Structures are given as C-alpha cells and as structure tokens.
Amino acid sequence: MDKNQILEQLKQINYPGFNRDVVSFGMVKEVVIDKNIVTIILAISSSNEEKKNQLVQEISDKLKTDNYELKIKVLDQPTRKTVDTSNKDANVEGNIKNIIAVASGKGGVGKSTIALNLAAALSAAGHKTGLLDLDIYGPSLPITMGVNENPAVNDQQKIIPIQKDNLKLMSFGFISGNQAPVVWRGPLVAKMTEQFFKDVVWGDLDYLILDLPPGTGDVQLTLSQKIPLDGAIIVTTPNDIALTDVRKGADMFNKVKTPLLGVIENMSFMEINGKVNISDQKIPDVELYLNNKKISLNDDMSFSHKFHLFKKGGGLNESKRLEIPLLGEIPYSEDLMKSIDKGAPLVFSDSSHPVSDIFIKIAKSLEQ
C-alpha cells in the first residue's frame, strides 16, 4: 500500500462529530512509509481528549493489517504564551454533543442571520438544536425570532431557555429588554457570558450554535477560551476589509485550539431575473446590457444574471489560503431580509427557497 492509497483510506474517516474527513480538515500532516512500518502523523487542534482518542482508534481500526506495522503519532499543538486554556472545561448545564461558534472579524456582515438560519437548518434536519446570542452589546435574537418575553427560572434558580419552532433560545436581550443600551467593560461581558453556560439549563442538545460578538478582541478571545468549542465558522463578505478580518478570526481560533470548520461568504452576489418584452416583433437582434456587460438572453427573451456587489471569489480565495472549505455562498436576498424582520427564519418560513437550500446543505456538511 502506497501513500496515496493510505490517504484515500483516511478520507473515509470523519472527525468525530462532523461530516468531514480528517484529510480535508488538514489533520493529516504526513504519512511516512519505511519498509514495513507506516507512520501517520496527525495535528489535531482540539483540547477534547476523548475525540482525539476516538479518532486515533478509528484510524487504527481502519488501517490495521498484517502487511505492515502501523504507528500513529499525534503532534503536540501548543498554544501561544498569551493564551490560557486551563479553563476550557467550563461548566455547561446540559448534555451538549457539539458546540459550534459562528464568528466574524467585523460587524455588518450578516453573522447573526447566518447563525440563525444555520441553527434552523440543523433543527429542520431533526437535530435537537439551541441558539445562544452572545452579543451582549447588540443582541438581535429577540427581533430575528420575534420573541418578546422573559425566560422562566426553575426552583434551582437556573434559567430555562425560551423554546420556539423547536429551537432552544437564549439572549441577553431576553433579560435586559432589547431597547436598553449596554455600556459594560470587557471583563463584565465575559463573566455574563459564562453565566449563560453555568446558569442556563440547555438539557440534551445535538448542536448549540453560538452567535459570537463581532470582532477579534479580548472579549471574543476570552469567550473562546472559556467555552469548550468543537468548531468555528467564520462569516465574511467578499470585500477586502472583511476578508482581512477573516485572517484575524482564524488566528484567534487557532490560538485556542478550536478547529475551523470553514468560511461562509454572505452577500456574495445579487441574482437579477427578468424578461425583455418587445412590442414590435420585427425588431431583430435584441441585446441587453447591464453595467456595460452583455447579458445572454434565452429563446423566450428571459434572462438571469449574477451581479457581484463587491468582488467575485474573495471568500473562496481566503478559504483556500487558510486551507479550510468554503461552506457556502449566500446571495443578497430580499426574502432573507424580510424573514428576519418578520421574526421567522427563512429556512422555517420557506424551506424550498433557493437560499434556504444553501443553509440546509451547509448544515448537512456539519452533521455527524
């Protein structure tokens, strides 16, 4: 068995908890063949020892044979001296299989909209799902889910998440009132965020989606350290400023040993559909131009054109540079924006919508 054959075998092994193989995750750093000894070198950016051991066992079971001796070496992945991960095992009230952070390097890229519809897609697929809005300064979940009530408290003074459309929801906006301005300093914000884990009864969940505050400062870094994340998704738009901040977000998660699951590019393009109506059928060779670019017309004079508001391929290029997948490209959609204003995620209100289909495919890529 040569190196390529071994890599093909490894591509059949998913990282525990995700529908993505260890090779595409970038965890297989080297395959060394020396006579009858095969050594597989892994770099696993996770502090979850149980998943590490499970992965090593699965590789061993898959590749073990009498034809050669198999050795599996897991490289130490030290964090930088500025990072303390000793509190990674934060107290979480409930049995949560996967905690996934949705982050962005800057505000205004549609991160909360992405997090909401991703959670909705996971729920629609039959997974027990929760959504935690961690943006203390600007909580959006009360508006995007159309919830205007305070969560209940049990006899142990633990908070019960609000449940709507099979989603368990929690947001600072439910407690403070969404109209109240927040002017807290970073340490107080981090402490409040920890309370959402220690004092909220999440119960049994397959997925808990975290809508992190925008940015990559001390608050975001502290949250990532305190919360036992299984992976992170970075949301961006195609413009250069947002893409630059993607790199900062990737660096932040690498510091705290959180696997990067991929990039989602929001507002990738705007699709324009229409039809040219001609009253005089004798007019020959009708041509249509948008921004000095010729648009192809179908036989019935209809057309469909993708108009890129920023630049084309920015998210894809950045995902390639970071060696993580581009999970999806979300178009600029009026229906998506209206669904947010109505407090009804598009995935729930119109599951057959083309944009809903993109979210469903992204959720499918994350499933166990």
Same domain (yes/no): 225, 337: yes
Which string of b and e fits 272-292 if b means at least 16 CB within 10 Å? eeeeeeeeeeeeeeeeeeeee
Per-residue model confidence (pLDDT) at position 118:
97
CATH number, domain with residue 193: 3.40.50.300
Same domain (yes/no): 151, 224: yes
Full residue range of the structural domain in which residue 256 is found: 94-267+312-366
89 part of a folded domain: no
82 part of a folded domain: no
Cα Dmax for the chain? 80
81 part of a folded domain: no
- The whole-angstrom separation of Cα 338 and Cα 345 is 9
Same domain (yes/no): 45, 115: no
Same domain (yes/no): 182, 247: yes
Same domain (yes/no): 182, 295: no
Please give the single-letter amino acid code of residue 201. V
- Of 259, 282, 307, which residue constitutes the final position of a domain? 307
85 part of a folded domain: no
Per-residue model confidence (pLDDT) at position 45:
62
Same domain (yes/no): 52, 132: no
Q: Is 37 helix (H, G, I), strand (E, B) or coil?
A: strand
Beta carbons within 8 Å of 315's beta carbon, 6+ residues apart: 236, 238, 243, 263, 264, 265, 268, 326, 329
Q: What is the pTM of this model?
A: 0.72
* Residues facing residue 34 across a β-bridge: 37
194 part of a folded domain: yes
- Measuring CA to CA, how many Å separate 357 from each of 31, 55, 80, 125, 362? 38, 31, 40, 12, 9
Same domain (yes/no): 41, 174: no
Per-residue model confidence (pLDDT) at position 84:
35
Same domain (yes/no): 162, 130: yes
Same domain (yes/no): 202, 338: yes
Per-residue model confidence (pLDDT) at position 365:
87
Same domain (yes/no): 200, 349: yes
Per-residue model confidence (pLDDT) at position 83:
31
In contact, 199 and 170? CB cutoff 8 Å: no
The helix or strand, by DSSP H or E, that contains position 131, with its residue range, turns out to be strand 129-133
40 part of a folded domain: yes
Please give the single-letter amino acid code of residue 141. L
Per-residue model confidence (pLDDT) at position 164:
93
Number of structural domains in the chain: 3
Q: Is 181 helix (H, G, I), strand (E, B) or coil?
A: coil
* Residues facing residue 72 across a β-bridge: 40
Of 211, 159, 216, 208, the residue nearest 186 (C-alpha): 216
Residue carrying the six token digits 């995620």: 345
**If the chain, 368 residues long, is cut into consecutive pieces of 10 residues, what is the mean pLDDT of each piece?**
86 80 81 88 75 88 85 66 37 79 87 95 95 84 88 88 93 70 54 75 92 76 74 88 80 82 88 78 72 82 79 80 86 91 92 94 83
- Of 27, 45, 74, which residue constitutes the final position of a domain? 74
Beta-sheet pairing, 260-266 with 326-330: parallel
10 part of a folded domain: yes
- Of 74, 108, 137, which residue constitutes the final position of a domain? 74
CATH number, domain with residue 49: 3.30.300.130
In contact, 261 and 327? CB cutoff 8 Å: yes
191 part of a folded domain: yes
Same domain (yes/no): 227, 322: yes
Question: For residue 362, which phi and psi values (nearest 5 degrees)?
Answer: -65, -45
Per-residue model confidence (pLDDT) at position 354:
92
**How many whole angstroms from its chain centre is CA 71?**
33
Same domain (yes/no): 338, 237: yes
- The whole-angstrom separation of Cα 31 and Cα 41 is 6
Q: Is 246 helix (H, G, I), strand (E, B) or coil?
A: helix
Of 223, 266, 224, 260, the residue nearest 108 (C-alpha): 266
